[in-house]
């Protein structure tokens, strides 16, 4: 698989597009862009404060779930009126998949070994840069991952750190269920349930999130996630965690672990700016 040059981002993502080349968007930033998203979802959970702080670089601080303005509505309903859970720290692991993706100036498509889709994922913790105010709550990214080593290599050349992960989707024999799994180092997250159904709902809302993290060469990055999904549906099933590293320990210790809802259709992008 060889990346093809991206001539211009105009028209790439419809309403989400910019008129500048991808690697020059937003004053010299870097872009991950996805067209016709086939699968996108998050695992939302809560972390012990000490464990959450352990993941952060100096200059960042966590924000309790009960006062985190960017908290997902679903998780917000789960902690409402519960002071113990409200004091914990919201966290999420999210994945985006598409038939192809743009990373900087390259257009990438999956190889047979990778499976049918390009995929990226990230682990983020609720927080803000030290000295900020609650109105500037953001997601602090611990790790970005991609299932394509060439995407990782090019992304890191822009001083945005990324690792690789493995994902798989397989039908459960003699059933209408599927098993979806993601392997991040020594942590394996898997979900088994009904991936398709009649309860899909048309989505008309644009989704956005602001992330911050420390890049290579001590560069302080801000990443803006924008998505325009066409459909959404809940994912009934069983979620399972394996592993002994920090991500696995945090997920196992969480009183709430929510997989989904799933979103698909439309376009998405993550714009990295310094």
Answer whether residue 7 is part of any domain: no
Answer whether residue 10 is part of any domain: no
Answer whether residue 15 is part of any domain: no
Q: Kindly report which listed range (8-12, 141-145, 147-151) carries the lowest average pLDDT score.
A: 8-12
What integer pLDDT is reported at residue 270 of this predicted model?
Answer: 97
Domain region containing 231: 23-273
> Of 57 and 9, which is predicted with more confidence?
57
Answer whether residue 16 is part of any domain: no
Over the stretch 76-118, which tens digit does the pLDDT of each residue have? 999 999 999 999 999 999 999 999 999 999 999 998 888 899 9
Domain count, the chain: 1
Average pLDDT over residues 210-230: 91
> Of 134 and 153, which is predicted with more confidence?
153
Phi and psi angles of residue 65, each rounded to the nearest 5 degrees, phi first: -55, -35
> Of 16 and 237, which is predicted with more confidence?
237
> Of 132 and 106, which is predicted with more confidence?
106
Q: Looking at residue 74, which CATH number applies to its domain?
A: 2.40.400
Give the model's confidence band at 225: pLDDT under 50 very low, under 70 low, under 90 confident, else very high. Answer: very high
Is the CA virtual torsion 106, 270, 61, 185 positive or negative? negative
3-state secondary structure 221-233: EEEEEEECCCEEE
Answer whether residue 184 is part of any domain: yes
Using alpha carbons, select from 164, 131, 158 the residue that is nearest to residue 223. Answer: 158
Answer whether residue 44 is part of any domain: yes
Over the stretch 28-64, which tens digit does the pLDDT of each residue have? 579 999 999 999 999 999 999 999 999 998 888 999 9
What integer pLDDT is reported at residue 25 of this predicted model?
Answer: 43
Answer whether residue 33 is part of any domain: yes
Answer whether residue 32 is part of any domain: yes
Give the model's confidence band at 17: pLDDT under 50 very low, under 70 low, under 90 confident, else very high. Answer: very low
Q: In the predicted model, is pLDDT for residue 153 greater than 70?
A: yes
Share of the chain above pLDDT 90, in %: 68
């Amino acid at each position: 698989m060889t990346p093809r040059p991206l001539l211009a981002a105009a028209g790439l993502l419809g309403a989400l597009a910019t008129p500048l080349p991808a690697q020059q968007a937003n004053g010299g930033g870097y872009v991950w862009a996805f067209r016709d998203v086939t699968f996108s979802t998050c695992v939302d959970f809560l972390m012990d404060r000490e464990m959450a702080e352990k993941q952060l670089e100096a200059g960042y601080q966590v924000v309790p779930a009960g006062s985190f303005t960017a908290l997902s509505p679903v998780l917000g309903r789960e902690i409402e009126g519960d002071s113990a859970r409200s004091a914990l720290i919201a966290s999420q692991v999210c994945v985006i998949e598409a038939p192809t993706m743009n990373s900087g100036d390259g257009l990438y498509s999956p190889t047979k070994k990778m499976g049918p889709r390009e995929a990226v994922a990230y682990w983020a913790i609720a927080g803000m840069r030290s000295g900020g105010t609650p109105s500037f709550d953001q997601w602090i990214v611990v790790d970005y991952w991609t299932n394509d080593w060439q995407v990782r290599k090019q992304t890191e050349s822009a001083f945005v750190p990324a690792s690789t992960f493995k994902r798989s989707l397989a039908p459960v024999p003699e059933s209408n269920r599927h098993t979806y799994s993601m392997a991040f180092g020594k942590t394996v997250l898997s979900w088994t349930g009904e991936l398709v159904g009649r309860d899909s709902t048309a989505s008309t809302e644009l989704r956005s999130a602001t992330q911050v993290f420390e890049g290579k060469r001590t560069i302080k990055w801000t990443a803006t996630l924008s998505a325009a999904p066409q459909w959404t549906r809940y994912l009934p099933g069983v979620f399972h965690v394996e592993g002994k590293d920090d991500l696995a320990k945090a997920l196992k210790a969480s009183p709430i672990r929510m997989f989904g809802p799933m979103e698909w259709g439309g376009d998405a992008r993550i714009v990295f700016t310094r």
